[in-house]
C-alpha cells in the first residue's frame, strides 16, 4: 500500500498495535518495555483506568466548547494545576502543545517589557514553530526555514554564570531555559546556575521562563523543576506529561505577567477544551493519589545505583528525565536494547541515552534494563 504520510520522521523498526501499563505490543507480537514514553508523554503508562474514565465521562457530557463559553471543568483544571504546582504562579492559559505554550510565553515577555531580544541556552530545544524554533539551538542551520527570526536571539553557554553579565542585559526581554534539557541530553542546569539566572533577570528586568514542557508535571520527582531547585520563574510553559497522552499544554504565569493580560492578548481554538481539561484533572489525581512523585524519586535512584554497567559510564539529569552516559555511541546502545525488547531514546548528545519512562515504572523493570545492559557488554 502507498504510504501517504509525510516522510519527515525517523522511525524505529517496530510497529505498535497496543499497549498496557509500561509495555508495548508490536504487530509481530513482541512485548517491549517502554522507557521512552512517546517523548515523555505517557506519564501514567497505557490504559490507566482513571484517565480512560475521565475522558469517557467528559466525552458523554460535552465533547467541546471554545473559551468563548465558560466551563467549570476548565476552571477546575486550572485550579488543580495551580495547587499541584505549589508555586506562586496563579494564572493558567491552556493551549494544545509545548511549542504553543512557549510561543505565548515569549510573546508576553516581548510585549510586557517592550524589548526585542530573547536569550536562550546552548543545547536548548523549545519547539518547531517560529518563536520556539528561533530559540532552539542549531535550528537555523538544520531546519528552521523562516527567512529571519521574529526577534533578536542570543545563546548563552550552559551552566556558565559568569557569562550572564554580558548575555543578559537591558535589551533582554526574557531568558528561556529548560531546567533539565531534554533533547540536549538530560542535562540538568542545577540550582546554582538557575539561581544565578534568577538574580540576573531581577537585575535587568528580564522575565525568566522555565520551559518545563518535558521536565515538568512530576518528571523530576517534584511537581516542577522549579520546586526541585527552589527557583521561581515568571512563567512555566508545560505539556507532555500534563495530558499523559492527550494533546494539551499550559502556560503558568506569575503576577507580573498576569496583570498585563486582557481580552484578545492571547487566543486559541482548541486549547482548554473540556476533554483536555478532564484529562488534566485525572493526571493530577493519579500522580497525587498513587504516590507517583515518590515513585519517580525512588526508581530513578535505583536506576542510578544499578544501571551504570555494560556500556553505561554514568548518569545525568533528574528523576525520569534521565541520561545514561555511554562509552560507545548511544544510538548503538539504543539499537542493542531494542533488540532485547527495551525502548529508550537518544538525544542531541551522541553519548547520552535518554530515559523518559512512565511514572509507574517499577523495580522489576529496572532489573530488566540492568540485565540488558550487562548483556550488551562494554
Q: Angle at the Cα of 77 (from 72 to 83), degrees rounded to 5?
A: 125
What pTM, to 2 d.p., does this model score?
0.98
Q: For residue 240, what is the DSSP state?
A: G
Contact 53, 43 (CB under 8 A): no
pLDDT in tens, 150-202: 999 999 999 999 999 999 999 999 999 999 999 999 999 999 999 999 999 99
Q: What is the pLDDT of residue 104?
A: 98
pLDDT in tens, 284-301: 999 999 999 999 999 999
Overall average pLDDT of the 237-241 stretch: 98
Mean predicted lDDT score pLDDT of the chain = 98
pLDDT in tens, 293-326: 999 999 999 999 999 999 999 999 999 999 999 9
Q: What share of the chain is helix, strand, coil (3-state, %, to 5)?
A: 40, 20, 40
Q: What is the pLDDT of residue 180?
A: 98
Q: Strand, coil or helix: what is 172?
A: strand
Residue with cell 505554550: 101
Q: What is the pLDDT of residue 361?
A: 98
Closest-CA residue to 208 (of 342, 87, 290): 87
- Looking from the CA of 350 toward its CB, the CA atoms found within 13 Å total 3
pLDDT in tens, 97-145: 999 999 999 999 999 999 999 999 999 999 999 999 999 999 999 999 9
Percent of all residues in the chain with a pLDDT value above 90, rounded to a whole number = 99
Q: Does 1 score more than 90 pLDDT?
A: no
Q: Where does residue 267 fall: left (phi above 0), alpha (psi -120 to 50 degrees), or beta otherwise?
A: beta
Calculated CA dihedral for residues 159, 162, 168, 169, nearest 10 degrees:
170
How many CB atoms neighbour CB 308 within 10 A?
A: 15
Amino acid at each position: 500500500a502507498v504510504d501517504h504520510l509525510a516522510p519527515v520522521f525517523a522511525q524505529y523498526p517496530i510497529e505498535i498495535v497496543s499497549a498496557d501499563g509500561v509495555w508495548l505490543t508490536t504487530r509481530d507480537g513482541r512485548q517491549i518495555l517502554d522507557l521512552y514514553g512517546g517523548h515523555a508523554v505517557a506519564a501514567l503508562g497505557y490504559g490507566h483506568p482513571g484517565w480512560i474514565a475521565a475522558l469517557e465521562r467528559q466525552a458523554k457530557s460535552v465533547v467541546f466548547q471554545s473559551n468563548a463559553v465558560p466551563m467549570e471543568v476548565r476552571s477546575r483544571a486550572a485550579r488543580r494545576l495551580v495547587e499541584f504546582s505549589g508555586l506562586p504562579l496563579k494564572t493558567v492559559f491552556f493551549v494544545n502543545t509545548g511549542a504553543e505554550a512557549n510561543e505565548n510565553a515569549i510573546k508576553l515577555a516581548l510585549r510586557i517589557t517592550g524589548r526585542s531580544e530573547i536569550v536562550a541556552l546552548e543545547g536548548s530545544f523549545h519547539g518547531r514553530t517560529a518563536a520556539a524554533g528561533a530559540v532552539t539551538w542549531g535550528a537555523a542551520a538544520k531546519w528552521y526555514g523562516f527567512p529571519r527570526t521574529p526577534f533578536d536571539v542570543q545563546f548563552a553557554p550552559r551552566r556558565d554564570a559568569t557569562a550572564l553579565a554580558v548575555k543578559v542585559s537591558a535589551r533582554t526581554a526574557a531568558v528561556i531555559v529548560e531546567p533539565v534539557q531534554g533533547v540536549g541530553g538530560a542535562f540538568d542546569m542545577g540550582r546554582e546556575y538557575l539561581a544565578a539566572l534568577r538574580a540576573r533577570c531581577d537585575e535587568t528586568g528580564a522575565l525568566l521562563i522555565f520551559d518545563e514542557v518535558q521536565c515538568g508535571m512530576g518528571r523530576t520527582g517534584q511537581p516542577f523543576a522549579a520546586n526541585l531547585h527552589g527557583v521561581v520563574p515568571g512563567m512555566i510553559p508545560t505539556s507532555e506529561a500534563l495530558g499523559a497522552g492527550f494533546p494539551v499544554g499550559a502556560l503558568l504565569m506569575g503576577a507580573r505577567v498576569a496583570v498585563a493580560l486582557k481580552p484578545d492578548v492571547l487566543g486559541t481554538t482548541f486549547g482548554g477544551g473540556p476533554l483536555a481539561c478532564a484529562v488534566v484533572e485525572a493526571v493530577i489525581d493519579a500522580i497525587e493519589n498513587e504516590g507517583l512523585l515518590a515513585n519517580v524519586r525512588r526508581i530513578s535512584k535505583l536506576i542510578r545505583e544499578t544501571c551504570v554497567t555494560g556500556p553505561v559510564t554514568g548518569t545525568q539529569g533528574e528523576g525520569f528525565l534521565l541520561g545514561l552516559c555511554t562509552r560507545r555511541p548511544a544510538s548503538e546502545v539504543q539499537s542493542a536494547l531494542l533488540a532485547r525488547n527495551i525502548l529508550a531514546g537518544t538525544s542531541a548528545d551522541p553519548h547520552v541515552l535518554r530515559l523518559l519512562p512512565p511514572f509507574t515504572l517499577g523495580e522489576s523493570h529496572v532489573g530488566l534494563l540492568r540485565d540488558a545492559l550487562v548483556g550488551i557488554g562494554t
